[in-house]
Structure 1
């Protein structure tokens, strides 16, 4: 146990508590994913493994949607990769705040999801790694558990999307975004990314808009620091 443990453990526990609303929403949405995956013909164990190893809701839904429409596995993988491209910019920003060499930082970076990244952001270009780990842990547990419930008992449950529960996540992410818009530069970057994402979302294949918006945000963030 190192000298920072007495301080870091309470930080992680507090972050876990702060992430409970996101974890609860993720549980319900994961049930929907499990149901959708089975409806698209994805084997139950494959859907559960996807949640265990991919752990990215938007990418998983995109992949399942393509498979459900008769698309190939390759197309589904490409779409999922494009949906997750935003993590490149997020990882570059987070990297200096993680510890150890490249391998350790890569392993620690697996804890990144949108909510944990935002909660760990200190607002000065640095991130609290214990907040990152603490906030991601309950979200991972509920995402995996919800997928299992959806796969195993989905046939006996109403689809959460039919109840409008899928609107919970966008509302949470909007709240996270508003918390990050503390400067005019951040507002300009967010507006530019939103315009690109919406325009390409209407005109380009799934995932391209997210990729381009991530690039805009990355370039804008670098420019704002100079």
Structure 2
């Protein structure tokens, strides 16, 4: 188990470097709106939704209704439909850990798990679990640190809400450069751009996710799995 934890920690280091910084950005933004570190802690433990937590700050401060919050959450997190479908087989043997694995499947954690190869001598189930757990711990620590720092110092938070988008772009580019085949990547980008043009920036996420899922299923059934 110690080796499994150690290997999982090593695998999670790239996300650690980003999540501590991004978590700090979230904590600072939340503190700047008058919410204490307790809110940062609670949101990072029980919500843990990355970009949605940044949006939640605006929802809290604007007095958004429950219905509006639900719709916004669905729009922003619709991409997890794709993530979840691709992880069904990988999570089928997780047992009692499965609910947490589903809960903790953020963009960056997904990028690690989807290509994770369990090191020799490690327990696969707990290797995946510890990667997910470590990633959330990094986010929690960053959020707390940012909130505390924000309460002690006066910091200009302009642009901090772009930090999550920047990390996601870096991860996508890294995966593109290291992969041998890019068919599914082209499908995703092509459909997203088309839906953006057709539906606009406020409503393109759900249509693009639906079309991407249907397209990937079709291509996979036609033998496209060889071009992943």
Q: Normalising by the residue count of structure 2, what TM-score does the alignment of the two structures yield?
A: 0.74
Match of 1:35 among 9, 23, 28: 28
* Residue 187 (structure 1) shift: 3.3
> Per chain length, whose mean CA-contact separation is higher, i.e. which structure has more relative contact order (CA < 8 Å, sep 6+)?
2
Equivalent in the alignment of 1:142: 138
CA distance in 1, matches of 2:216, 2:38: 40
* Residue 190 (structure 1) shift: 2.0
Q: Which runs of 5+ in 1 are unaligned?
A: none
Q: Normalising by the residue count of structure 1, what TM-score does the alignment of the two structures yield?
A: 0.74
- Note if contact 1:25-1:168 (Cα within 8 Å) is conserved in structure 2: no
Kindly provide the CA deviation profile for residues 138-175 of structure 1, in whole angstroms up to 9, marking residues without a partner as x. 22112111111222221316356657982641343223
Q: Which runs of 5+ in 2 are unaligned?
A: 117-123, 222-228
Equivalent in the alignment of 2:155: 158
Q: CA RMSD in A?
A: 3.3
* Residue 215 (structure 1) shift: 2.2
Equivalent in the alignment of 1:60: 53
Equivalent in the alignment of 1:112: 105
Match of 2:187 among 186, 189, 195: 189
SS in 2 for 1:19: helix
Count of matched residue positions in the alignment of Structure 1 and Structure 2: 212
Kindly provide the CA deviation profile for residues 62-95 of structure 1, in whole angstroms up to 9, marking residues without a partner as x. 1212333443354234312321221122112211
Distance 1:81 1:45, change over 3 A: farther
